[in-house]
Amino acid sequence: MESSGAIGILGGYGAVGSSVVRRLHQADIGPLLVGGRDPSRAGALIASLRHRRGTASVRAEAVDLWSASLDSFLSRCRLVVNCAGPSYRVLDTVARAALRHGVDYVDAAGDDPLHARLTADGGGADAWTAAARIALISAGALPGLSGLLPRVLLEPAAEPVRLEGYVGGVAALTPSAAGDVLLARGPEHGTSSAAWKDGAIRDRALKPRRDLRLPAFPRPVAAFPYLSTEAARLAETTGIRRLHWYTVFGGTRLAEELAMAWALDTADTADTAELVRAADEDVRRHGSWYGQEFRLWNGTDDGPPTRTHTLRAEDSYELSGFLAATAAQHVLAGHVKPGVHYAADALDPQSTATALAADPVAELEMT
């Protein structure tokens, strides 16, 4: 990798991007170039860094992803971390431009639809490998940590037979995040009520679980079975026989509003105002908290789980910032081979979990 050029963070003053900027600055990684459509917000973030530890230089640049300013921005970068959203709209716009400029790419979001575009015939994974460039996607809390942390349980297990995953909580939604939540449905994202069993997806296999008490969450929650494509890849890659995956809601308003939008088929309009308000109402009622819990049965699925891995946090956006910044550091250090990769497949589970356990953003517990 070239030693010259900046580390660009697009959407760098948003909820996830600002976390990435702060983390890279604190690690003395730079120079940093904060991109977005509002230079004043980027300037306020940069001003706040003067009171923090870190010596890397940081500057701002106005960028519109759908104009020539994106090419101008990338021409000054050696790596770009994309935190701009909503990801369903951005898709491969930044990644394709990064490849044209010979710039490595980390995406705090992006899932199967982005991977499919980047690996499509005529310029996908082979093009990234041929150019000796890296595209590392799904480097957030979900997807990302949700596919990586279960591997901490699975890798040392001699005979893993069953895994349960519970991911979610209560959090405010930015308009971009709300747009992604609305559009995250269909087979390219996952299958509702499904489970993984003996090498295949089984439709209508699970029912919702209500008033569920788990260590990852501070109060009883509702858990809705949803086998994400990330979870299905995890099961297929590790060879586990049974996998049950649940989306967790700590309040009722967001779940109700999301179900209504999907039932009325209004999600494609990407009108996020009602969803944002519903999430805010849940936060007012129940506070803001987030968790991930993974329960493994090794050898037999009778009785209680053999081991449990629990993550507790106040802010899922900070968790995404942690993994995106970690992914960027791994790319810069040469720890990721050229090509297109999901972060959960490319990063080392144990070292990432160890770093997260030492970070104040989250509390990890293994039992």
pLDDT (0 to 100) of residue 3: 41
pLDDT (0 to 100) of residue 4: 58
Range list of H helices, 39-118: 39-48, 69-74, 87-90, 93-100, 112-118
Tokens 């491969």 sit on residue = 92
pLDDT (0 to 100) of residue 269: 46
Distance, CA of 55 to CA of 35 (rounded, Å): 19
Taking only the tens place, the pLDDT of each residue in 98-132 is 999 999 999 999 899 999 999 986 555 689 999 99
CA distances to 191, 216, 319 from 169, in Å: 20, 9, 13
183 HSE (CA, 13 A, CB side): 22
Q: Which helix (H) or strand (E) holds 272?
A: none
pLDDT (0 to 100) of residue 92: 94
pLDDT (0 to 100) of residue 53: 81
C-beta separation of 180 from 87 below 8 A = yes
Taking only the tens place, the pLDDT of each residue in 46-99 is 999 988 887 789 999 999 999 999 999 999 999 999 999 888 889 999 999 999
Distance, CA of 172 to CA of 318 (rounded, Å): 13
CATH topology for 6-140+318-361? Rossmann fold (3.40.50)
* Angle at 314 (CA atoms; ends 207, 42), nearest 5 degrees: 120
Distance, CA of 283 to CA of 276 (rounded, Å): 11
pLDDT (0 to 100) of residue 88: 81
Tokens 């639809």 sit on residue = 113
**Cα 230 to chain centroid, rounded:** 11
pLDDT (0 to 100) of residue 83: 96
| Percent of the residues in the chain that have a pLDDT greater than 70, as a whole number | 95
What would be the CATH architecture of the domain defined by 145-316?
A: 2-Layer Sandwich (3.30)
Distance, CA of 230 to CA of 233 (rounded, Å): 5
Work out the mean pLDDT of the chain and round it to a whole number. 92
Taking only the tens place, the pLDDT of each residue in 215-258 is 999 999 999 999 999 999 999 999 999 999 999 999 999 999 88
Taking only the tens place, the pLDDT of each residue in 15-37 is 999 999 999 999 999 999 999 99
Give this prediction's pTM: 0.93
Average pLDDT over residues 208-221: 96
Domain residues of the chain, as ranges? 6-140+318-361, 145-316
pLDDT over 80 at 183, yes or no: no
276 HSE (CA, 13 A, CB side): 12
Distance, CA of 320 to CA of 324 (rounded, Å): 6
The DSSP result for 173-242, as a single string, is: --HHHHHHHHH--STTTEEET-EEETTEEETT----EEEE--TTSSS-EEEEEEEEHHHHHHHHHHT-SE
Average pLDDT over residues 277-288: 95
C-beta separation of 182 from 270 below 8 A = yes
Taking only the tens place, the pLDDT of each residue in 139-179 is 999 999 999 999 999 999 989 999 999 999 999 988 888 87
pLDDT (0 to 100) of residue 123: 52
Q: Do domains 6-140+318-361 and 145-316 have the same CATH topology?
A: no
pLDDT (0 to 100) of residue 223: 97
Given its phi and psi angles, is residue 193 left (phi above 0), alpha (psi -120 to 50 degrees) or beta?
A: left
Residues near 196 by beta carbon (within 8 Å), at least 6 away in sequence: 202, 227, 231, 232, 235, 236, 240, 242, 243, 244, 245
Rg (CA), the chain: 20
